[in-house]
Amino acid sequence: MPAAGFPPVALLVLLGEFLSNVGSGATFPYLVVYLNDVCGLSGGQVGAVLVVRSLAAVAGAVAGGALSDRYGAARTVTGVAAAAAAAAAVMACVRGGVVAPAVVAAVAGTGAAAALAPALDALLARSVPESAREKAFSWRNTVVTTGAMLGVAGAAVVLGVFGAVGGLRWVYALDAVSFVVLAALVGRVAGRRRSIEAHARAHGAAEHLADRHGPGSGSGSSDQGYAAVARDPAMRRVFVFVLLVVAAGFAQLQIGLPAVSVLTHDVDGLGWVFTANMLVVVLVQVPAQRVLTRFPRPVVLAGGAACMAGAWAIVALDAAPAPGTASLLAAAVLFALGEIAYMPVVTALVNDLAPPGLAGRYNGAHTLAWTGGFAIGAAATATLLGAGSIRLFFAVSAAVLGVTALGALRLARILPEGGPDDRP
């Protein structure tokens, strides 16, 4: 269990994220269904809402990082989680024909979720010793995936019992409650800010990072805003790496594969594909982390991107006339292995690069790379799959990830010696 070696603050954060992701996991596959069946929007109107949501996600990522630095990560999570709960509650209460409140709530909820991400990353990173960050984010990936998996399963049961319209109201009500619980748990963390700061000071994070960023990068560095993040060459390289991995990797897992299933009129096996992917993460993440810590971070990140490239190569090789379920399952499992290598390392790396006072903005930049990557990935999906070439689409995605894996190895040249790449 994660209790071994973790302070109570970190356990509260992990518990809150687990429960919150039960709610989020129950809702994320069904937004299009909600907008169409409950709100009565046409396909074009749904598309317009999704575009606005993507802009809200970008704004939320930027705002969440800045708010975290200004008011503290715990206070930011508490306030933003309350806003997300209100948005989900509005969506739960909407009745047929009442469109505007539901659309506003959907957009606001997306912005709030994006704002939560950098604050939660900074909060968890600062609640454990620097040497334990990868372990903490490894457990975080496990509990978040488990929560999402339980949420998806629970939503399927609820919709089966109450139907799409009635069931979605219950699902969004669950989402609202999960955000309230997250706000309550992290509210307790806000009262323990001194213990969080003590952990950071005890392990010398401030002194090490101040040396790396030079004079003036201490607690007052938040005044420099995102410009200070942009001046960090290591963070710029990490930003590009994350952007490409998300665009060619994670976006195609969540957008490309479902789009292929729709184009080929074979959606029956899609649920099994995602179940296989999540099960591998849940079962393998923590044991694998003990092995991965033996290797330099650039090597682990390169290996993760290479696994994702291999997954899409499997799909591309079996794409005539369409990939079979067995190939999709194999790709999902291999992609999960890439996630296991990638997720804890890149988040810990971002937080190790962040100087005191800029942790929120560094995590905000990381979240912005995710939202930007998904936007690019969605555009690529529409362009290449619209041309009807599944093989070309996934071959290009695999090639991009392969080049990105090689680029990850070059991170070793710019990471500071004895700093973030000096692993336990």
Instruction: Average pLDDT across each block of 10 residues of the chain; the chain has 424 residues. List them in order.
Output: 67 91 83 80 80 89 93 92 96 80 92 94 90 91 91 84 84 94 85 51 42 44 76 93 96 81 63 86 92 92 97 86 82 96 94 90 95 86 66 90 93 57 48
> In the prediction, which pLDDT does 385 show?
59
| Domain CATH number, residue 293 | 1.20.1250.20
> In the prediction, which pLDDT does 412 show?
72
| One domain for residues 242 and 99 | no
Task: Give how far Cα 202 sits from Cα of 99, 207, 383, Å.
Answer: 52, 10, 51
Give the residue carrying structure tokens 């899609």: 270
Q: Which of 109, 117, 110, 107 is nearest to 89 (CA)?
A: 109
In a domain, 218, yes or no: no
| One domain for residues 352 and 409 | yes
User: At 240, which amino acid appears?
Assistant: V
Q: Last residue of some domain: 187, 203, 219?
A: 203
Q: How far apart are CA 379 and CA 356, in angstroms?
A: 36
105: domain range?
8-203
In a domain, 209, yes or no: no
In a domain, 215, yes or no: no
Q: How far apart are CA 106 and CA 52, in angstroms?
A: 10
In a domain, 396, yes or no: yes
Any idea of the CA torsion for 298, 302, 303, 305, to the nearest 10 degrees? 140
**Largest Cα–Cα distance of the chain, in whole Å?**
61
In a domain, 222, yes or no: no
Count of domains in the chain?
2
Question: What is the pTM (predicted TM-score) of this model?
Answer: 0.83
| One domain for residues 42 and 147 | yes
| One domain for residues 389 and 251 | yes
| One domain for residues 190 and 232 | no
| One domain for residues 199 and 252 | no
Angular region, 355: left φ>0, alpha ψ -120 to 50, beta rest: beta
| One domain for residues 277 and 323 | yes
> In the prediction, which pLDDT does 4 show?
52
Task: Give how far Cα 234 sits from Cα of 211, 292, 343, 411, Å.
Answer: 15, 21, 18, 7
| One domain for residues 192 and 295 | no
Chain-centre distance for alpha carbon 211: 30
| One domain for residues 394 and 300 | yes
Q: Read off the tokens for 117.
A: 């991400």
Q: Which of 241, 220, 193 is nearest to 76 (CA)?
A: 193
| One domain for residues 305 and 255 | yes
| One domain for residues 169 and 119 | yes
Angle 193-202/205-213 helices, nearest 10 degrees? 70
The conformation of residue 253, written as its DSSP 8-state character, comes to I
User: At 205, which amino acid appears?
Assistant: A
Q: How far apart are CA 11 and CA 7, in angstroms?
A: 7
> In the prediction, which pLDDT does 195 show?
52
| One domain for residues 158 and 243 | no
Q: Read off the tokens for 83.
A: 């806003």
Q: Read off the tokens for 322.
A: 């369409």
Q: Last residue of some domain: 203, 238, 268?
A: 203
In a domain, 183, yes or no: yes
Residue 184 CB partners (closer than 8 Å, separation 6+): none
